[in-house]
Amino acid sequence: MAGTSLIILAAGLGSRMNSDLPKVLHPLAGAPMLHHAMQAGRALDPVRTVIVAGHGAAEVEKAARVYDPDVEVVLQAEQLGTGHAVRQAAGLLTGQSGDAVVLYGDTPFIRAETLEAMQAARARHAVVVLGFRHEGPGRYGRLVTQGEALERIVEYKDATAEERAITLCNSGVICAQTSVLLDLVAAVGNDNASGEYYLTDIVQIARERGLTAGVVICDEAETLGINTRAELSQAEAAFQARARAEALENGVTLTAPETVFLALDTVIGRDAVIGPNVVFGPRVTIESGAEVRAFCHLEGCHISRGATVGPFARLRPGAELAEDVHVGNFVEIKNAVLDEGVKVGHLTYLGDAHVGEKTNIGAGTITCNYDGVNKHHTEIGPRVFIGSNTMLVAPVTVGRDAMTGSGSVITEDVPAEALAIGRARQVTKPGMAVRLMDLFLSKKKKV
Ligand code: UD1
Ligand code: CA
């Protein structure tokens, strides 16, 4: 099986995050950091994806499988360096044809075009390293070049003053033929300032074996690595700025772009309108021409063409709004399908429900879906009128063209075309209000 394999390094603890959660699982744009690296790698249409996990390996594996069920995970029990990490993949990738690309799980923003440029550069070099220029290059590894050729990579700790003055840095992304990469990492030693097996040493080893190495240079922003919470928040800001710009470019109206928060997998169609202060969690799709008004929180939902949502609405996982549905203020919808033209204007909770087309849900309606132990379904037919403040005690069915009276507690199925009223009948006592008031006042004077 030819084609590119990905090796994603994700074993590090990330101690500077000061967290119990493995670093690569910290959320960025509603997805674990690791998913961003996996998404970047997807540009190469990989035949294999190997994650090298260490700290929190079981959790890392679980999260990786959410993105790609076919991912392979290998354990690096002790973190002895990036070269050692790549070596762990040998058990899985020995004999694999095609190239291998090494990515870091904590470096989320590598662009598809950049990885494609590296792939193209492989026609000229056995080993291709992704570099970037940085005027204050700090502790990054430095790329020592000779004209076009990459001679070696020197880690900051091991670099001379002259080498530290180099501003061409190592991003960490490396590409080579899989068999070559595995041969090279097998030869890496740990005789250096950190006592670690450096992946970066493969360049010099390649040169000694008569192989050539080259550099592809990308923008520094792409190589942003996350080591601290501060860097995580900067990465979030960078992601949001880019995602908003992309949405605008794609024909989405964002009234106040800087207040809208998008997720890695948000999909918004052309001519959709998104008001201020709208937050997108994972798995939201919005069709062309839908409108989401100010202050909505959306997660795991689908909004069809012509639908309007908000202001102040919350759509939770499994909320499916068909065309021309209207969801108004202070409405929460979870695991519920609303057919075409349904109106849910105000102050309502719909959970575990299906609502037929053109049904109107009155203000204050609640599907009482939870009995304290189990969740139950509410089925509401088409063209139903649910009176305000109806409690629908699930499991319950309201048939087509039926009505419920305001304030009803509906515990039994309502047949099609019927009116159901479940509340105490009103009692009216003429003059009673005035007599009561007099009584209360006389009592107050005595005390
Ligand atoms: C590495 C590079 C450096 C480069 C920098 C870019 C080496 C020796 N150095 O340094 O040249 O400028 O990245 O950010 O490669 N990891 C493992 N197992 C290990 C060690 C690391 O999985 O045993 C993973 C980490 O979780 C992380 C990535 O590899 O995702 C990079 O490791 P890190 O320790 O951050 O490398 P740097 O010292 O930053
Ligand atoms: Ca790092």
pLDDT digits (tens, 9 = 90+) for 306-344: 999 999 999 999 999 999 999 999 999 999 999 999 999
- Is the pLDDT at 2 greater than 80, yes or no? no
- CB contact set of 287 (below 8 Å; sequence gap of 6+): 269, 272, 302, 303, 304, 305, 307
Q: E-strand spans in 71-193?
A: 72-75, 99-104, 127-133, 142-146, 149-154, 168-177
- Decide whether any atom of ligand 1 lies within 6 Å of the 10 Cβ: yes
Mean pLDDT of 357-367: 98
User: What is the distance between the alpha carbons of residues 283 and 268, in angstroms, rounded to a whole number?
Assistant: 11
Query: Is-contact 243 261, C-beta < 8 A?
Result: no
Q: What is the pLDDT of residue 354?
A: 98
Mean pLDDT of the chain: 97
Mean pLDDT of 88-92: 97
- Is the pLDDT at 94 greater than 70, yes or no? yes
Pick from 175, 178, 176, 174: nearest CA to 95:
178
- CB contact set of 185 (below 8 Å; sequence gap of 6+): 83, 86, 87, 90, 197, 199, 202
Q: What is the pTM of this model?
A: 0.92
Range from 10-14, 120-124, 216-220, 226-230 carrying the lowest mean pLDDT: 10-14
Q: What's the gap in Å between 227 CA and the centre of ligand 2?
A: 6
Q: How far is CA 327 from CA 200, 362, 434, in A?
A: 55, 11, 43
Q: What's the gap in Å between 82 CA and the centre of ligand 1?
A: 5
Boundaries of CATH 2.160.10.10 in the chain?
229-420
Q: Which amino acid is at 7?
A: I
Q: What is the pLDDT of residue 148?
A: 82
Share of the chain above pLDDT 70, in %: 100
- Decide whether any atom of ligand 1 lies within 6 Å of the 84 Cβ: yes
The tens digit of pLDDT for each residue in 236-294 reads 999 999 999 999 999 999 999 999 999 999 999 999 999 999 999 999 999 999 999 99
Query: Is-contact 273 291, C-beta < 8 A?
Result: yes
Q: What is the pLDDT of residue 127?
A: 98
User: What is the distance between the alpha carbons of residues 357 and 256, in angstroms, rounded to a whole number?
Assistant: 33
- Decide whether any atom of ligand 1 lies within 6 Å of the 106 Cβ: yes
Q: Which atom of ligand 1 is nearest to the CA of 197?
A: 8
Ligand with the closest atom to the CA of 10: 1
- Is the pLDDT at 74 greater than 80, yes or no? yes
- Indicate the DSSP class of residue 351: E
Mode of pairing for the β-strands spanning 27-28 and 31-32: antiparallel
- Decide whether any atom of ligand 1 lies within 6 Å of the 199 Cβ: yes
Boundaries of CATH 3.90.550.10 in the chain?
5-223
CATH node for 229-420: 2.160.10.10
- Is the pLDDT at 54 greater than 60, yes or no? yes
User: What is the distance between the alpha carbons of residues 270 and 290, in angstroms, rounded to a whole number?
Assistant: 9
Task: Tell me, yes or no, if 35 is annotated catalytic.
Answer: no
What is the band of 1 on the pLDDT scale with cuts at 50, 70, 90?
A: low
Pick from 298, 292, 326, 324: nearest CA to 311:
292
CATH node for 5-223: 3.90.550.10
Ligand with the closest atom to the CA of 9: 1
- Is the pLDDT at 447 greater than 80, yes or no? no
